[in-house]
Chains A and B, each alone.
Chain A
Amino acid sequence: MNPFSSGTRLRDMIRSIRACKTAAEERAVVRKECAAIRAAISENDQDYRHRNLAKLMFIHMLGYPTHFGQMECLKLIAASGFPEKRIGYLGLMLLLDERQEVLMLVTNSLKQDLNHSNQYIVGLALCALGNICSAEMARDLAPEVERLLNSRDPNIKKKAALCSIRIIRKVPDLSENFMYPAASLLKEKHHGVLISGVQLCIELCKASKDSLDHIRRNCTDVLVRILKDVSNSSYAPEYDIAGITDPFLHIRVLRILRILGQGDADSSETMNDILAQVATKTESNKNAGNAILYECVETIMGIEATSGLRVLAINILGRFLSNRDNNIRYVALNILMRAISVDTQAVQRHRTTILECVKDTDASIRKRALELVFLLVNDTNAKHLIKELVDYLQVSDPDFKEDLTAKICLIVEKFSQDKLWYLDQMFKVLSLAGNFVKDDVWHALIVAISNAPDLQGYSVRLLYSALQASLEQESLVRVAVWCIGEYGEMLVNNVGFLDSEEPITVTESDAIDLVELALKRHTTDTTTRAMCLVSLLKLSSRFPPTSERVKGIVTQHKGNVELELQQRSIEFASIIQRHTGIKSTLLERMPVLDEASYLSKRAGSTEKTASGDPKSTASGDSKITSSVKVPNGVAKPPTTAAIPNLIDFSIDDAPVPPTSTTASEPPNFMMDLIDINLPSSPPSGGEPAPVINRNIIDDLLSIGTSPVENGLPASSSFPTIAKSTVPETKPAPVSDLLDGLSLSLDSSSSPSREEEHKSITAFQSGNLKITFSFRKQPEKLQATLIHATFTNLSSNAYTNFIFQAAVPKFIQLHLDPASSNTLPANGNGTITQSLTLTNTQHGQKPLAMRIRMSYKVNNEEKLEQGQAENKERKTFSLSIAFSSDSHSVERELFAVASHFLLSSSFELVPRFYKP
């Protein structure tokens, strides 16, 4: 049984797949085959294993899953015969990849085969290893490959060299082991070994600076000699392609010379001669020769070559440009584009040829050439180039006109030292390709005309003649109609006549005829029509006798379906008919448009469109989030939308929304507040709030239970101090915070790598103050470490102090144990506790947290809670409530609510607690 003839069944399968008319039929055939192969695999069929694998490879190529055959490859590789191994390795390379765990199982077989006495089997193993080796395999098998690099057989050597490339890519640390063997490969004669050796050296140069230096020092001469030998060698049938010996080797040697010569004058010097020889002597009538020349030019551009050599290289590219082969012209344009930065003058010399390429029949060559021409334009050649380009615009392909027009306009605007020239070129472009001229370009033209009083007459006459010749170009119509309206009398009276002009005679009614024609042309769009109407109105004032006729034309549009035109028509008719007194003042010439401000606005608007998008999207997003219900079941007021992330100071937030939104809300949220905060009071009708409340409270309790329940015994014998003397706000000193942190932070997070943010007062009531200080680790922006410090502001010590927190679903909360559960009175001591918040929607949603503190004062249970939310990069919020007294609750709430309203930038989110 010969596995390579694949047996009849493989042929049958291919035939039946070929015979399939539809994809469904093909799928059915493949399904049937796969089922048969699976069955054979489960029966551990040995005779047809190779054939099944061959089929699987075909099926795999067609894009069907074949993972079930992977183990079969391994079995075939482990077999002793060459044919089995052959197909097994092929399957391995096609069906498996380095990410599959199965691959680990093959390491041992590979190791054995690498040490096999049969050179073909060693070759197979090397080839497979080179194609699929993973980092672990690379480490395991590198010594074997290294040994094989010194083998006597060139076939093994070349494969070992390429295998080493894979190993170095996977494990760059191993590269130094290969440095010396790689250098010795370059002394070989066999081309296969040479080409592989050169590629290995290239990889080594990329892998480390040391190898690069080593190869540069020791191998530059050898490489130059290889190139010399191969380019001078007489006819070698084995490696001959179109009369050139081994162009592939040429190209790779040139490539490594480029790497070695880059930024190194000495080695560049060594290779100057041979590069000059390759550049001058290589035949350029076949693709192979051109490929070498191409690589040679790249190398000359890349190294510290002499200027003579550079000119030689650019001249080669110039010759490429007139080559008949499209590919060659295309690559030449590509390299020239890069060469401009090296030697502009040399590239300029080929300007004429490049300009010819703009007129090429191949669209991508035209495009490239146009880009190149654009880079070549300077003050001295702009006029000449524009003339050529404008001439070409006349005959160019319609598809190409858009690009060409855009580039011409850019060049004309950028290099116009002379206004007359600018206007002339723009008028030409407008009449040739006015449909492709962008709005901002013709707007700029109008601004320019308005600023050139000497040329207005000239412009209007020229535009009039151009418009008379053709009404097809939209932007020409617009500019011409605008100018005729503004400068109508200059047109008729030949004001500001230039010597270069040809005299024309235009009567008042001629001008109106033309505008009317433009207005009535069926392809004219609304904007142009509207401009025509204005133009006519202005003409009625410039040429009073035509007034009646203009009115007639204008009134024809009073029933137009376009509101804009209808309105203009009716209003203009009434101006002409009834307001003759003010008409002439009303329709005076436009004041001179401010060129500077227009240009800066134009630059700004293009910038804005470029950068403005993300912002508008962001605000769009936040609008969506604003309607999202928060976990407490109450929709957040829309003000939440723009609230920046509490902790993420780096985010440039959206502007703070106006207060008015908040102000309009109070009745609602007050209801909510009372409603939700006091489940004991009857819930307002129809609101499902209480149900949700319970869930939330459950959540709250389940998350926030502090593991430290039994702390120090309560000491209630603290000196009594009048409440008023207690400092209202005690700013948390930073040093204290840091001390506290170093105590409570776990050792894994090193404070030095963290980003310290300022601390804020997260909660403050008459009895309790909480400060949060924030830290972020730069590599983990979602996570925020909060260090909370609790201070008792009342005169009684708190015992059984428990801090709890609840967060929305998109945030993960981790609470560390508190330092104590007893809080001495009068701020004589603090409890500290660390929290870690992970915002899974970092950057999209701000951090928010609901907090609750329960404690005992004189054996009476107390509860405080609030919402930590972010605003203007501060944190804020909350109200306080005492469960014992509903009056005081309302009072407190009211006080807090009004405080919120006063400090405009607040968001109020209702809170709950359990009485």
Chain B
Amino acid sequence: MGIRFVLLVNKQGQTRLAQYFEHLSIDERRALEGEIVRKCLARNDQQNELAILEFIHLLVETMDRHFGNVCELDIMFHLEKVHFMLEEMVMNGCIVETSKTNILSPIQLMEKAS
């Protein structure tokens, strides 16, 4: 299994974006989000941790390019856009696209349309 979930959490530990690629009940999600720090520390043998780190960088850079120095409020108030970006980058736990231009083009297209 590749990426199992993507969570954006602020410094107070409040979830600001959640996308799961495997099924978890609401209670399980709550529990997971509650102890996410511990989960982060329990690193998995099968993964290339450095690649995941790089992917997180890429996600943040993509959001930066779109919002211009992205902050918590950008994500809160444009949750759906962040979801659209994520959709272009990861699908079912696998990476789809790594070019920021390719990721953002459908979103810019939508903005123009509306």
A residues sitting closer than 8 Å to B (CB atoms) are 2-6, 11, 14, 18, 54, 57-58, 61-65, 82-83, 86-87, 90, 93-94, 97-99, 120, 123, 127, 130-131, 155, 158-159, 162-163, 165-166, 191-192, 195-196, 199, 238-239, 241, 246-249, 251-252, 287-288, 290-291, 294-295, 298, 327-328, 330-331, 334, 364
Q: What mask results when residues 23 to 59 of chain B are scored 1 for a CB within 8 Å of chain A, else 0?
A: 1001001100100000001010100111101110110
Q: Which residues in A have their C-beta under 8 angstroms from that of B69?
A: none
- Closest residue of chain B to A337 (Cβ to Cβ) is B45
Known: A87-B80, A291-B48. A131 touches B92 (CB 8 A): yes
A127 & B23 in contact (Cβ 8 Å cutoff): no
Q: How far is the CA of A90 from the CA of B88 in the complex (A)?
A: 12
* 5 residue pairs, one from A and one from B, having the closest CB atoms: A291-B50, A192-B97, A291-B51, A2-B114, A97-B23
Q: Which residues in B have their C-beta under 8 angstroms from that of A199?
A: 2, 94-95
Among A82, A196, A330, A331, the residue within 8 A (CB) of B96 is A196
Among B91, B95, B98, the residue within 8 A (CB) of A239 is B98
Among B21, B98, B110, B111, the residue within 8 A (CB) of A248 is B98
* Closest chain A CB from B7 CB (angstroms): 10
Among A5, A18, A166, A290, the residue within 8 A (CB) of B92 is A166
Q: Which residues in B have their C-beta under 8 angstroms from that of A98?
A: 23
Q: Which residues in B have their C-beta under 8 angstroms from that of A247?
A: 51, 54
- Closest residue of chain B to A195 (Cβ to Cβ) is B95
- The answer to the question of B4 belonging to the interface, with a C-beta cut-off of 8 Å to chain A, is no
Among B15, B80, B99, the residue within 8 A (CB) of A57 is B80
B23 & A99 in contact (Cβ 8 Å cutoff): yes
- Closest residue of chain B to A123 (Cβ to Cβ) is B106
Q: Which residues in B have their C-beta under 8 angstroms from that of A246?
A: 98
Among A11, A120, A166, A238, the residue within 8 A (CB) of B106 is A120
Known: A4-B110, A63-B29. A238 touches B99 (CB 8 A): yes
Q: Which residues in B have their C-beta under 8 angstroms from that of A294?
A: 48, 50-51
A130 & B58 in contact (Cβ 8 Å cutoff): no
Known: A4-B81, A61-B15, A61-B18. A249 touches B98 (CB 8 A): yes
B92 & A248 in contact (Cβ 8 Å cutoff): no
- Closest residue of chain B to A325 (Cβ to Cβ) is B50
**Chain A facing B: main interface SS:** helix
Q: From residue 75 to 112 of chain B, which have CB atoms closer than 8 A to chain A?
A: 76-77, 79-81, 83-84, 87, 91-92, 94-99, 101-102, 106, 109-111
- Closest residue of chain B to A2 (Cβ to Cβ) is B114
Q: How far is the CA of A291 from the CA of B55 in the complex (A)?
A: 11
Q: How far is the CA of A6 from the CA of B41 in the complex (A)?
A: 36
A61 & B92 in contact (Cβ 8 Å cutoff): no
Having A54-B79, A196-B96, A328-B50, one finds 4 other A-B pairs with CB under 8 Å, namely: A195-B97, A199-B95, A291-B48, A327-B53
Q: Which residues in B have their C-beta under 8 angstroms from that of A131?
A: 21, 91-92
B98 & A195 in contact (Cβ 8 Å cutoff): yes
**Chain B facing A: main interface SS:** helix
B94 & A165 in contact (Cβ 8 Å cutoff): yes
Q: Which residues in A have their C-beta under 8 angstroms from that of B76?
A: 14, 18
- Closest residue of chain B to A67 (Cβ to Cβ) is B26
Q: How far is the CA of A192 from the CA of B54 in the complex (A)?
A: 17
Q: How far is the CA of A6 from the CA of B80 in the complex (A)?
A: 9
- Closest residue of chain A to B7 (Cβ to Cβ) is A61
- Closest residue of chain B to A6 (Cβ to Cβ) is B80
Q: How far is the CA of A241 from the CA of B61 in the complex (A)?
A: 11
Among B21, B94, B114, the residue within 8 A (CB) of A196 is B94
Among B21, B26, B77, the residue within 8 A (CB) of A11 is B77
Q: Which residues in B have their C-beta under 8 angstroms from that of A159?
A: 91, 96
B residues sitting closer than 8 Å to A (CB atoms) are 2, 15-19, 21, 23, 26, 29-30, 33, 41, 43, 45, 48-51, 53-55, 57-58, 76-77, 79-81, 83-84, 87, 91-92, 94-99, 101-102, 106, 109-111, 113-114
A331 & B95 in contact (Cβ 8 Å cutoff): no
Among A90, A196, A241, A298, the residue within 8 A (CB) of B84 is A90
Among B50, B83, B84, the residue within 8 A (CB) of A327 is B50
A158 & B53 in contact (Cβ 8 Å cutoff): no
Which one of B91, B95, B110, B113 has the highest number of Cβ atoms from chain A below 10 Å of its Cβ? B91
Q: How far is the CA of A166 from the CA of B81 in the complex (A)?
A: 24
- Closest residue of chain B to A244 (Cβ to Cβ) is B54
A191 & B98 in contact (Cβ 8 Å cutoff): yes
A5 & B80 in contact (Cβ 8 Å cutoff): no
- Closest residue of chain A to B29 (Cβ to Cβ) is A63
Q: How far is the CA of A203 from the CA of B98 in the complex (A)?
A: 20
- Closest residue of chain A to B23 (Cβ to Cβ) is A97
* Closest chain B CB from A31 CB (angstroms): 16
Q: Which residues in A have their C-beta under 8 angstroms from that of B84?
A: 86, 90
Q: How far is the CA of A238 from the CA of B99 in the complex (A)?
A: 6
A65 & B26 in contact (Cβ 8 Å cutoff): yes
B114 & A83 in contact (Cβ 8 Å cutoff): yes
A192 & B96 in contact (Cβ 8 Å cutoff): yes
* Closest chain B CB from A29 CB (angstroms): 14
A14 & B77 in contact (Cβ 8 Å cutoff): yes
B49 & A327 in contact (Cβ 8 Å cutoff): yes
A4 & B111 in contact (Cβ 8 Å cutoff): yes
Q: Which residues in B have their C-beta under 8 angstroms from that of A288?
A: 54
Known: A63-B29, A191-B98. A241 touches B58 (CB 8 A): yes
B51 & A248 in contact (Cβ 8 Å cutoff): yes
Q: Which residues in B have their C-beta under 8 angstroms from that of A158?
A: 96-97
A251 & B29 in contact (Cβ 8 Å cutoff): no
Q: Which residues in A have their C-beta under 8 angstroms from that of B54?
A: 241, 247-248, 287-288, 291
* Closest chain B CB from A762 CB (angstroms): 47
Q: Which residues in A have their C-beta under 8 angstroms from that of B101?
A: 238
Among A94, A120, A130, the residue within 8 A (CB) of B83 is A94
* Closest chain B CB from A17 CB (angstroms): 9
- Closest residue of chain A to B22 (Cβ to Cβ) is A97
A239 & B99 in contact (Cβ 8 Å cutoff): yes
Q: How far is the CA of A331 from the CA of B76 in the complex (A)?
A: 34
B97 & A5 in contact (Cβ 8 Å cutoff): no
Q: How far is the CA of A45 from the CA of B57 in the complex (A)?
A: 41
Q: How far is the CA of A65 from the CA of B26 in the complex (A)?
A: 7
Q: Which residues in A have their C-beta under 8 angstroms from that of B19?
A: 93-94
Q: How far is the CA of A58 from the CA of B26 in the complex (A)?
A: 14
Among B45, B53, B95, B98, the residue within 8 A (CB) of A291 is B53
A334 & B77 in contact (Cβ 8 Å cutoff): no
* Closest chain B CB from A63 CB (angstroms): 5
Q: How far is the CA of A6 from the CA of B97 in the complex (A)?
A: 27
23 contacts between A and B (CB under 8 A): A2-B114, A4-B114, A14-B77, A18-B76, A58-B79, A61-B17, A63-B26, A86-B110, A94-B83, A120-B109, A127-B87, A131-B21, A162-B94, A192-B98, A195-B98, A196-B96, A199-B2, A248-B55, A249-B98, A287-B54, A294-B50, A298-B48, A330-B43
Known: A61-B15, A90-B83. A192 touches B53 (CB 8 A): no
- Closest residue of chain A to B51 (Cβ to Cβ) is A291
* Closest chain B CB from A317 CB (angstroms): 13
A191 & B30 in contact (Cβ 8 Å cutoff): no
Q: Which residues in A have their C-beta under 8 angstroms from that of B45?
A: 334
Q: How far is the CA of A65 from the CA of B25 in the complex (A)?
A: 10
- Closest residue of chain B to A254 (Cβ to Cβ) is B48
Known: A99-B23, A196-B96, A239-B99. A331 touches B50 (CB 8 A): yes
Q: How far is the CA of A159 from the CA of B83 in the complex (A)?
A: 16
* Closest chain A CB from B56 CB (angstroms): 10
- Closest residue of chain A to B111 (Cβ to Cβ) is A4
- Closest residue of chain B to A64 (Cβ to Cβ) is B26
Q: Which residues in B have their C-beta under 8 angstroms from that of A331?
A: 49-50
Q: How far is the CA of A327 from the CA of B3 in the complex (A)?
A: 19
Among B26, B77, B96, the residue within 8 A (CB) of A162 is B96
B102 & A54 in contact (Cβ 8 Å cutoff): no
Among A57, A93, A251, the residue within 8 A (CB) of B48 is A251
Q: How far is the CA of A252 from the CA of B94 in the complex (A)?
A: 10
* Closest chain A CB from B17 CB (angstroms): 7
Q: How far is the CA of A282 from the CA of B111 in the complex (A)?
A: 39
Known: A99-B23, A241-B58. A5 touches B29 (CB 8 A): no
A287 & B110 in contact (Cβ 8 Å cutoff): no
